[in-house]
Structure 1
Amino acid sequence: MKRTESEKTESDITTHGQNPYEIVKSLIKESVTRLGLHENIYHMLKKPMRMLEVSIPVRMDDGTLKNFTGYRAQHIDILGPTKGGIRFHPMVNIDEVKALSIWMSLKSAILDLPLGGGKGGVIVDPESLSDRELETLSRTYIRKITPIIGPQKDIPAPDVNTNPEVMGWMIDEFDQLRGYNIPGMLTGKPIIIGGSLGRLEATGRGVVFTIREAAKELGMELDKSTVAIQGFGNVGSMTAKFLHELGVKIVAVTDARGGIYREEGIDIPDLLEFVGDKENYASDYPHADAITNEEMFGLPVDILVPAAVENQITKETAPTIQAKILAEAANGPTTPEGDKILEEKGIFVIPDILCNAGGVTVSYFEWVQNSMNYYWKEEEINQKLEEKMLFGFNTVFTMREEKKCFMREAAYMVGINHLVKAMNARGWVKDSDLSDS
């Protein structure tokens, strides 16, 4: 299978052995305490309401049969159907999928979307599969999780190593099982079969909206700022594209194989054209100097954007960071030890559950359009995305000012507070649970 640059970049970076599920549980517990809520709220939110493990037998091209393991987690459906991506990666594990489903719940709550959090994954190296094997894996996985998904239950989407082509196979399999077209059963699909304009660029565009707002709060002029980006897949490349359009100078980019650096600024349109050839990595770009991932973290830039995978900002890498803003385009890129160091250094962190929520927002728009069978123009979608991202940023920033805390704590408190209000309205929790007194 020939992978895209997104797939090559995002699937090959280690996660330093940290358990994201334990990290997110700890953050939830701290936020529940800080909000003055009863410990019962923590126990309601600390694990998914449903966790499915499936076996996925695939007949390989050489005639052998391989049985892959897949997961689907559904965290909470208090606000609406659960929603979240499907990743194909050899390091997928049950705790990672649980953590990602919780993050999806919080993202939707922060942006006031009528969705819960879901996430799926298959333990597989997609590079080792032929196109036929990949299609068989995709169709068999969706067949196995069909009983718990659907437009009013749980809505999958692309994630690491999956893309619109994979979504097309999956929705076709689901429709064949049901006997009719159900375009809203997943998002991120090809536009011709009900996908949304602007979805491919949505996460990166949302990242840039939050960077812009953070820069305003800090009195920074973006057109005089410098940026380094870790990861040049879909999210990293779109972030670079939109920052470049705002006049920001991107001086460094890294990927799975290395990185590039140019003090005068990288020609981003030329780099995007270069990696458009699926055989090229960003780190192969000839018009810049070579740089390692570790060197990139320590560059004297104004903004650092981790856009790869979990646990990249650690106790080893955080001390070297000189940026004023760290925009978490990836899910869970910062470990608790790394986060503490960032706080001590006074770095303004835009947390992942706010920063990269543009993807789920436009996925929500896609689901709405599928329900109406009426489709908006891209300009309208981008405008609605901006409104949602600004709403989320301002709500979190207001909580930060009110509680005199850091942005990550504020984001968790905003998300949890929103979920708790819905839980109380439905009678899931009692009034006594809303106070720890």
Structure 2
Amino acid sequence: MTPFNDSTTDESSRIDPDLDAPWTYATAAARRLGVPDDIEQRLLYPTHRQRITVLFERDDGSHGVCEGYRVRHDGVRGPYMGPHRYDPALTGNDCAGLAAATTISAAIADVPFGGAAGGIAVDPSTLSRSERVSLTRSYAARITGLGADGDVLVPDVGTDERTMARVADAVSNRVDGPQNAAVAGKPPALGGHREITRAAGYSVAHVTQDILETDHDRPLSDATVAVYGTGHIGATAARLLEFWGGTVIAMCSDEAGLTAPESENGLDTDLVPSYLERPGALSSYDDGTTTGTQNVLERDVDVLVLADPVTAVTAENADAMRAEIVVEGATGSMTPGGQSVLEDRDVTVVPDVLATTGRPIAAHLEWIGSVGRDRMSDARVTNEFGYALTDAVEDVRDRRESCSLSWREAAYSVGLSRVAAAHEVVR
């Protein structure tokens, strides 16, 4: 393997995700729409915040203590729903930003959910399996308001379908309605759907292809792609974009990257994520060139997908981006200043609230089955998911074209107008 840039000397662009950004965009959208003052104030502040102490038992018999959070932004359109993450840097304000973004995304998807977000300030990689179980159950025991008609958790950074299963079991004796409906993204054995866990990544890939082919008149089969992030979203989006005909020529984790040789057809998206998650294994990968993360961001490609939950693009480095389309696959991966620089250069920026709309769509489809309203096969779930996602993109596109807005402005305009309209009818 030939080194392209010494990843040990590359200055990573990784910083804490800019989770205040949704408030900036929501405020601008509210002013643009002329939302009445009382409704605007309601939308610009969370409805409810919880901060708790999460006590859990360690394997040696001692006890650990972490901070836990759950923030509910707005529930006028239906039960709260949103991500549950484990991240050592997590704060209540982070959860508030995620909750606001989820409210907008659910409204764009036109599903009857409000937005919420929460989690625990912990690094799950430092915990054993039994410690994670104890931590999850302790959190579920102390957070109030969970339930099918209250607040529905979905997996996010540091959590997975097993986490959701443990939460559902832990709250079984104190929630109204089916306990399994208190979470989405659970294992199929508990009523989950196989497609749900990769819904956000599928959504990112679908929206990318739709905008590339419809708005840029370029078939995916002729496009090159770089993917920043190798978690569930990045890995799924990369595999699907390759499967549908795109050429993924660069990928990176937050520590190292790989690029495809110029003469080759692209990276093997089935293998690369596993190597990038273990940087020490990169020396044994022979079909790519090691590089630093910044080189992946700056690669000359048609599409750059930002799929890592960190801020990768800022006003300071946005000028170096050479992609024609930048897709924000994780909330906070781009600052408002970074977006402004890109849009001044006529780069298309697809916002997270549209790119990841698949998550609330998938959560709603699973929730419908869990509360007993309908029994859907995996095939039907897949079809319904695809139709809803296509409709969401089309709604934002129509608003963008009719009002001469950017993709982000149009997405927030669609989402916020639907939430504001719901508030209008219940005043």
Match 1:246 to one of 244, 247, 267: 244
Q: 1:141–1:86: structure 2 CA closer, same or farther, 3 Å change rule?
A: same
Alpha-carbon shift at residue 248 of structure 1 (Å): 0.4
* Matching residue of 1:16: 15
Q: 1:86–1:362: structure 2 CA closer, same or farther, 3 Å change rule?
A: same
Q: 1:344–1:357: structure 2 CA closer, same or farther, 3 Å change rule?
A: same
Question: Distance in 2 between the 1:326 and 1:415 partners?
Answer: 21
* Matching residue of 2:106: 108
* Matching residue of 2:66: 68
* 1:54-106 deviation per Cα after TM superposition (whole angstroms, max 9, x unaligned): 11111222232221110001111100000011100101011100000000100
SS where residue 83 of structure 1 aligns? strand
**Sequence identity, in percent?**
26
- The answer to whether the Cα contact below 8 Å between 1:196 and 1:375 also exists between their aligned partners in 2 is no
Alpha-carbon shift at residue 125 of structure 1 (Å): 1.0
1:396 correspondence with 2:396: yes
1:151 correspondence with 2:143: no
**Alignment root-mean-square deviation, CA:** 2.2
Question: Distance in 2 between the 1:211 and 1:180 partners?
Answer: 37
- The answer to whether the Cα contact below 8 Å between 1:311 and 1:333 also exists between their aligned partners in 2 is yes
* Matching residue of 1:357: 357
* 1:231-274 deviation per Cα after TM superposition (whole angstroms, max 9, x unaligned): 011111110111111110000000032010003243435416x7
Q: 1:253–1:283: structure 2 CA closer, same or farther, 3 Å change rule?
A: farther
* Matching residue of 2:26: 28
SS where residue 323 of structure 2 aligns? coil
Deviates most, 349-358 or 193-202: 193-202
Deviates most, 212-221 or 33-42: 33-42
Question: Distance in 2 between the 1:31 and 1:345 partners?
Answer: 22
Equivalent position amino acid for 2:289 in 1: D
SS where residue 75 of structure 1 aligns? strand
How many residue pairs were aligned? 412
* Matching residue of 2:5: none
Q: 1:77–1:177: structure 2 CA closer, same or farther, 3 Å change rule?
A: closer
Q: 1:62–1:163: structure 2 CA closer, same or farther, 3 Å change rule?
A: same
TM normalised by structure 1 equals 0.89
- The answer to whether the Cα contact below 8 Å between 1:89 and 1:123 also exists between their aligned partners in 2 is yes
* Matching residue of 1:197: 194
Q: Flag structure 2 segments of 5+ consecutive residues without an equivalent.
A: 1-11
Q: 1:258–1:283: structure 2 CA closer, same or farther, 3 Å change rule?
A: farther
Q: Flag structure 1 segments of 5+ consecutive residues without an equivalent.
A: 1-12, 428-437
Question: Distance in 2 between the 1:397 and 1:83 partners?
Answer: 25
Question: Distance in 2 between the 1:44 and 1:209 partners?
Answer: 33
TM normalised by structure 2 equals 0.91
* 1:289-339 deviation per Cα after TM superposition (whole angstroms, max 9, x unaligned): 011111111111000000001421111221111111111111121101101
Equivalent position amino acid for 2:98 in 1: L
Alpha-carbon shift at residue 281 of structure 1 (Å): 8.0
Equivalent position amino acid for 2:118 in 1: G
SS where residue 41 of structure 1 aligns? helix
Match 1:79 to one of 77, 80, 83: 77
* Matching residue of 2:180: 183
1:331 correspondence with 2:328: no
- The answer to whether the Cα contact below 8 Å between 2:178 and 2:370 also exists between their aligned partners in 1 is no
Alpha-carbon shift at residue 15 of structure 1 (Å): 5.6
Question: Distance in 1 between the 2:194 and 2:280 partners?
Answer: 26
1:303 correspondence with 2:300: no
- The answer to whether the Cα contact below 8 Å between 2:323 and 2:347 also exists between their aligned partners in 1 is yes
Alpha-carbon shift at residue 388 of structure 1 (Å): 1.2
Question: Distance in 2 between the 1:76 and 1:282 partners?
Answer: 45
Q: 1:229–1:217: structure 2 CA closer, same or farther, 3 Å change rule?
A: same
- The answer to whether the Cα contact below 8 Å between 1:164 and 1:189 also exists between their aligned partners in 2 is yes
SS where residue 24 of structure 2 aligns? helix
* Matching residue of 2:8: none
- The answer to whether the Cα contact below 8 Å between 1:32 and 1:39 also exists between their aligned partners in 2 is no
* Matching residue of 2:131: 133
- The answer to whether the Cα contact below 8 Å between 1:253 and 1:282 also exists between their aligned partners in 2 is no
- The answer to whether the Cα contact below 8 Å between 1:71 and 1:120 also exists between their aligned partners in 2 is yes
Equivalent position amino acid for 2:246 in 1: V
- The answer to whether the Cα contact below 8 Å between 2:18 and 2:335 also exists between their aligned partners in 1 is no
SS where residue 85 of structure 1 aligns? strand
Alpha-carbon shift at residue 212 of structure 1 (Å): 1.6
Equivalent position amino acid for 2:194 in 1: L
* Matching residue of 2:420: 420
- The answer to whether the Cα contact below 8 Å between 1:297 and 1:317 also exists between their aligned partners in 2 is no
Alpha-carbon shift at residue 280 of structure 1 (Å): 7.4
